[in-house]
Structure 1
Amino acid sequence: MSRLHKESHLVSRVGWLRAAVLGANDGIISTASLILGVASASAAQSDILLTGVAGLVAGAMSMAAGEYVSVSSQSDTEHADLARESRELAADPAAETEELAQAYVVRGVEVGLAREVARQLMVKDALGAHARDELGISAATTARPVQAAMASAATFTVGAAAPLLLVLVAPTAHVIPVVAVGSLLFLSLLGAIGARAGGAGLLKPTLRVAFWGAFAMALTAGIGAVFGKVV
């Protein structure tokens, strides 16, 4: 005897997970890169710390504003599509029912059954059925600007705080290796956590974030070293 069971799918995490991983990843990489660039130019520890704090504040605000504007644009598009669909439903419900039925036929449902399913769904929630099956808009993937902005700003701050903490605890003469190695470890941990939260394998996401983090930090440190000697 089979029993119904509640399934927990990870697609519901897509919205906040993307923003959170992006924020934390950017926080670690940008702040660590700034710190290494300034440290490579033989700056004092107080200057290095000030640069990191300024990068944290500016980056968190930038991430929040960027996410809010970007996701708001997506939300505006979704609302415009829903408004247009609502007008079409009011103007010609029969044509909209057939349009929904054809969407099911394309997916492999027999024509008669597709029309009956479309008719029943239109009776219960016409706009919801068209939003989901024609426009691809659902509760799990709909744009949430405020949630994305807050997640990005908060996780950027947490990510940026990690290399700043390393500056505080590292001996002055060893700031560069401590921040570089520590930040790569933080990035690897972030990649593993993001992969686990999204249900993906651990190795590829971990190596991906570690590689790009190492590249960014090495490039910035090299520029700091070159310009530090010139100045």
Structure 2
Amino acid sequence: MYKKFGFSVLLSLVLSYSFAQQPSGTWVMAHIKAKQPVLSATMEQGELTFDEGDPYDSSEVYTPGLMVIQFESQRAAISHSWDGNESWQWQLRQDSLLMFGERDTLYGSYSQDQIILSSTVDAVPTEYTFLKVEDKLKLEGVEAKTKAEFKIPDHPFDKLQLTFQQDTVLAEANNIKGLELYLTNIGPLQVIEYTFDRDYSKVELGIVYLFRDKRKKYRGLFYPVIDDFKKPKPQVLEIDLK
């Protein structure tokens, strides 16, 4: 009897641990890393001719990403991105993750904090990095005609006042040079795409994922790109609704 009880407890612990290792909750695409091919070329009769064959070298370039994956039970998931909403079936073998959709198959690595996926249809080697969102944050857009204020220390967005409209967001008078804001709604997903001028002729661009934290508070998760060749660092906006 005691042996049977001990075995049952052990099996329960193993199953609980295995379940905890499964992908769950909401994940946002933080950035895209693509290898930019460097082709060799020669000058022939005054014209530049690229050599045939594969590139001999490459450099890694980072760009913002726009995709949210919500993992569900029964090895199912749903994503929201530029391509719209898509359903997936997934398999996890140790730390290797496979995701099967109608238009694509994604493959890569999984850990409790980070997922890195590649696509079978990309023309150049590309990695899509997803980061886990806190379970308490809800994927819910801000209603039109809502006024809000951004709070983020040591960033030009700090104290920025704005108003959400149906398909856009309007910023009040500010000192951010060249600021452009675009609001995008895809299913429950709402994001703010932005760009503005930085010092030394640089430009910052990014995509802010909006999540409800409390009734009058939102969080904006974003991963700004300032230098194409440097990995973006996570940033968090505190957004107070008025």
Q: Scaled by the length of structure 1, what TM-score is found?
A: 0.22
Work out which structure has the larger RCO, using CA pairs closer than 8 Å and 6 or more positions apart in sequence: 1
Give 1 or 2: higher strand fraction. 2
Larger radius of gyration: 1
